[in-house]
């Protein structure tokens, strides 16, 4: 590039690995497919197992336990938040990417889901974004609708539907009547891009983090209708179609062994006709959400093309975790209350599903159609929870139109963009305060063909959330999934030979497993992961409950 590049960073919320056409899906995503196919598709790119932890790592280049989201804010109490790294918002121990790019002369813009603080002091505007329109929380209605019920009378699981929008430092008190999240976030970003002064020659960093396709599943009616009947064969049939396409595209090995579906729920042929119709409709709505997200990405790409800026823009795209396999109603006591509340205050009749006043999710079987061949889905530290679709593209890329099977993580984005911008991370001091160094590594030498792989086989990377743990070194991974969704002990897998994490080698390779467990302990020491023997009853119980929830769904969705 002859001048410093622009950056467009796009994040989808809970998108499955094979949802996009370029990653094996049947959903119409022509705009993202064109960008992905022109760039480098990453098949071994890793995030955290849930939304806000990933977003913390994405904007800081370090582990979420250090950056302030050791536990998701929605599921921690004041005792937990007193621990460094568990504040529940992006803390002051890290220098954020927008701060560093702003200091380096970039125009910094965000429109979308923030999920890293719910106050003016912890907002995007306070962390380096010059223009910002954000959804502070998660699981918000995608339209401007909520039941006429005071928040304190809503079930805990649904409190986040009252998530706040913020324009700069100021709360937004009213939304347009035609508000739909993906459209509105894109509208505002296009406004910001268009309002840059003509004499402002600064490059831009534009961050577009969608809240779609996170539940509640909602989309424009005309798009939902487009997918009518498409999923009537059920999730197992879709899973097989997706796997076949993944193999055909070279995104997974032709002889890959897919992990069996993990779901304590009835198979498709055990559902009655009404249950099948409702379940298939949920997938239809989900597909419509994804297509609408793609359409909005196309709007941004077209704007950049029309202004002559696309050829100097690095586009990065990723999902923030594996596909969402939630069955929220399965939480004991709390879930039943949520079900009763939804039945009373929402309209989940078949013809109304996907509208503003409906509230649904699609469950673990549809999720695993998207995560296959990987094991499980969101919230788990198995590959289905942390391996996500991602690509990077720009005209100067050496690896245009190729597929990478090399390991990389969301923490690598900050050092990569800083290097492309011709600036550096400050190290251990920023604006007079001590900050943590990067844990990620720049992908640029790999992208430019100077290195064969982004990370050496000796490097280790750890994951932890809600008691689920993992540590990886090269192709070897030690995995700990708590009971009842796992054995409650460390398992060992060789991911190159066994990407589905099916064949546990713990007994065959005890020395290797013990070595990895030693690396895990060093990871704990370096990042401050709380020992759950003293982390507090709330986090322990919620960890178990949430993991259990993510393996169940009701018979009629």
Residue 490 is inside which H or E element, if any? strand 490-494
Model confidence, pTM: 0.95
Whether residue 253 contacts residue 499, with contact meaning beta carbons closer than 8 Å, is answered with yes
pLDDT of residue 532: 57
pLDDT of residue 527: 98
- Nearest Cα to 188, choosing from 199, 179, 200? 179
Task: Point out the catalytic residue in the list 46, 51, 64, 214.
Answer: 51
How confident is the chain (557 residues) per 10-residue block, as mean pLDDT?
A: 87 98 98 98 98 98 98 86 94 98 98 97 98 94 92 76 86 94 98 94 97 97 98 98 98 98 89 97 98 98 97 98 81 72 95 96 96 97 98 90 98 98 97 97 95 96 96 98 93 98 98 98 97 49 50 36
pLDDT of residue 422: 97
For 315, the 3-state DSSP assignment is strand
Check if 115 is active-site.
yes
Q: How many CA atoms lie within 13 A of 549 on its CB side?
A: 24
| Helix orientation angle between 235-249 and 363-371, rounded to the nearest 10 degrees | 10
- Nearest Cα to 93, choosing from 129, 67, 63, 57? 67
For residues 431-448, b (16+ Cβ closer than 10 Å) or e, as one string?
eeeebbebbbbbbbebbe
pLDDT of residue 248: 98
Check if 107 is active-site.
no
Task: Point out the catalytic residue in the list 46, 107, 115, 259.
Answer: 115
All structural domains of the chain: 6-406 (3.40.720.10)
E strand map for 31-127? 40-46, 107-113
Q: DSSP of 371-434, one letter per residue?
A: HTTSS--TT-SSHHHHEEEEEEE-TT-TTTTEEE-S-EEGGGHHHHHHHHTT----TTEETTEE
Q: How many CA atoms lie within 13 A of 127 on its CB side?
A: 28
CA-to-CA separations, 467 to 47, 53, 157, 340, 378, in angstroms, rounded: 17, 14, 20, 29, 14
DSSP structure class, residue 459: -
């Amino acid at each position: 590039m002859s001048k410093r590049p622009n950056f467009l960073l796009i994040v989808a919320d809970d998108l499955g690995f094979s949802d996009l056409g370029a990653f094996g899906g049947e959903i119409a995503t022509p705009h993202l497919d064109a960008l992905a196919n022109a760039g480098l598709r990453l098949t071994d790119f890793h995030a955290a197992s849930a939304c806000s932890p990933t977003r913390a790592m994405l904007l800081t280049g370090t582990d979420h336990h250090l950056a302030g989201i050791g536990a998701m804010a929605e599921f921690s109490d004041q005792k937990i938040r007193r621990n460094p790294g568990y504040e529940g918002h992006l803390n002051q121990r890290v220098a954020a990417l927008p701060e560093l790019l702003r200091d380096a002369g970039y125009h910094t813009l965000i429109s979308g889901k923030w999920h890293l603080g719910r106050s003016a002091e912890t907002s995007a505007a306070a962390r380096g974004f010059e223009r910002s329109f954000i959804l502070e929380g998660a699981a918000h209605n995608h339209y401007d609708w909520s039941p006429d019920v005071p928040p304190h009378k809503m079930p805990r699981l649904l409190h986040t539907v009252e998530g706040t929008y913020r324009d700069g430092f100021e709360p937004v008190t009213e939304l347009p009547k035609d508000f739909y999240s993906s459209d509105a976030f894109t509208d505002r970003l296009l406004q910001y891009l268009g309002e840059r002064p003509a004499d402002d020659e600064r490059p831009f960093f534009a961050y577009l983090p969608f809240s779609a396709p996170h539940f509640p599943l909602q989309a424009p009616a005309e798009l939902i209708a487009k997918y009518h009947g498409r999923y009537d064969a059920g999730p197992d049939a879709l899973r097989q179609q997706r796997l076949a396409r993944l193999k055909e595209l070279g995104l997974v090995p032709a002889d890959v062994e897919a992990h069996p579906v993990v779901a304590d729920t009835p198979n498709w042929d055990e559902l009655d006709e009404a249950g099948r119709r409702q379940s298939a409709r949920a997938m239809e709505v989900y597909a419509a959400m994804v297509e609408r997200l793609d359409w909005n990405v196309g709007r941004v790409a077209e704007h950049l093309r029309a202004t002559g800026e696309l050829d100097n823009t690095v586009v990065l795209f990723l999902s923030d975790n594996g596909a969402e396999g939630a069955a929220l109603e399965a939480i004991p006591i709390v879930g039943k209350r949520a079900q009763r509340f939804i039945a009373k205050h929402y309209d989940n009749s078949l013809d109304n599903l996907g509208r503003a006043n409906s509230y649904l999710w699609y469950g673990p079987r549809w999720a695993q159609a998207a995560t296959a061949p990987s094991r499980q889905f969101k919230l788990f530290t198995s590959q289905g929870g942390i391996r996500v679709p991602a690509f990077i593209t720009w005209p100067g890329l050496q690896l245009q139109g190729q597929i990478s099977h090399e390991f990389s993580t969301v923490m690598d984005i900050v050092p990569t963009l800083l290097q492309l911008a011709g600036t550096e991370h400050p190290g251990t001091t920023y604006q007079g305060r001590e900050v943590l160094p990067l844990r990620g590594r720049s992908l640029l030498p790999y992208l430019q063909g100077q290195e064969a792989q982004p990370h050496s086989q000796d490097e280790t990377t750890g994951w932890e959330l809600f008691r689920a743990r993992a540590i990886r070194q090269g192709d070897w991974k030690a995995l700990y999934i708590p009971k009842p969704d796992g054995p409650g002990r460390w398992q060992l897998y060789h991911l190159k030979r066994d990407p589905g994490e099916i064949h546990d080698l713990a007994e065959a390779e005890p020395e290797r497993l013990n070595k990895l467990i030693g690396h895990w302990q060093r990871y704990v020491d370096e990042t401050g992961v709380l020992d759950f023997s003293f982390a507090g009853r709330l986090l322990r119980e919620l960890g178990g409950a949430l993991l259990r929830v993510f393996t169940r769904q009701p018979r009629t969705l």
